[in-house]
Amino acid sequence: MSPTRRHGPEVHRANRSGWLRAAVLGANDGIVSTASLIVGVAGSGAGYGTVRTAGIAAVAAGALSMAAGEYVSVSAQRDAERADLRRERTELRDHPASELAELAEIWRGRGLDAGLAQTVAEQLTEADALGAHARDELGLVDGARPAPVQAAATSALAFAAGALFPLIAFLLGPRDGRSAVVVVLATLALAASGAAAGALGGAPRTRAAVRVAAGGLAAMLLTMAIGEAAGAALG
Ligand SMILES: [Zn+2]
């Protein structure tokens, strides 16, 4: 939070916009990887039809790989949280006194004096012991975690939405300048989505836009150079 900002009920955008931010980052991935692949294959000297097929395959492969990766990662996270909660439930049942002391210690660590921490721990335990330990000890926030299938679908759609930009730019671009059109449009799209991600995260927009666009541009130009070298070396 900026110290110059007047204090008030400030908006914590980092939490609220988590989903949207993940979607924007997925779209960035789609733009960079598909544009890079297209200009890399085109740089090798491949014909229009080959690059078009490679571009379509890149959209499908990227979206599906994002979906699979997200499904695995969110599932693993959820399983780990469930295991933590199971362990916590057992501890609360078998060792309620030491669990109460543990909770009081956490609140002392947050700055409460011993007596108040003890009172807070007792009242939280009485109201919802497992919920209190989940929040204060494990750091789990209820409802913050998306379901694996939802997360997978969101990532795949976001990637595909971003990836369609460079693919369409290639398909509709002028005969002799398709790669240039792909690079320019992809860079502009990255700058826009970088600015959007920055705004969602409450970060400076221009810096975010430049960073995302420059990173993507470097990836595209490097892949194009590698494609040209591979085309020259391998034919
Ligand atoms: Zn505990």
Ligand 1 centroid from CA 175, angstroms: 65
Ligand 1 centroid from CA 111, angstroms: 19
Ligand 1 centroid from CA 115, angstroms: 19
Q: How confident is the model at residue 4 (pLDDT cuts 50, 70, 90)?
A: very low
Ligand 1 centroid from CA 76, angstroms: 21
What whole-number percentage of the chain has pLDDT above 90?
71
Residue 12 has pLDDT above 60, yes or no: no
pLDDT value for 3? 44
For the chain, what are the domain ranges?
A: 19-234
Ligand 1 centroid from CA 62, angstroms: 41
**pLDDT, tens digit (0-9, with 9 covering 90-100), for 132-190:** 999 998 888 766 667 889 889 999 999 999 999 999 999 999 988 999 999 999 999 99
Name which of 37-41, 184-188, 191-195 the model is least confident about.
Answer: 191-195
**pLDDT, tens digit (0-9, with 9 covering 90-100), for 94-134:** 999 999 999 999 999 999 999 999 999 999 999 999 999 99
Ligand 1 centroid from CA 105, angstroms: 11
Q: What is the mean pLDDT of the chain?
A: 89
**pLDDT, tens digit (0-9, with 9 covering 90-100), for 43-72:** 999 999 999 999 999 999 999 999 999 999
**Mapped to the 3 state alphabet, what secondary structure does the chain carry?**
CCCCCCCCCCCCHHHHCHHHHHHHHHHHHHHHHHHHHHHHHHHCCCCHHHHHHHHHHHHHHHHHHHHHHHHHHHHHHHHHHHHHHHHHHHHHHHCHHHHHHHHHHHHHHCCCCHHHHHHHHHHHHHHHHHHHHHHHCCCCCCCCCCCHHHHHHHHHHHHHHHHHHHHHHHHHCCCCCHHHHHHHHHHHHHHHHHHHHHHHHCCCHHHHHHHHHHHHHHHHHHHHHHHHHHHHHHC
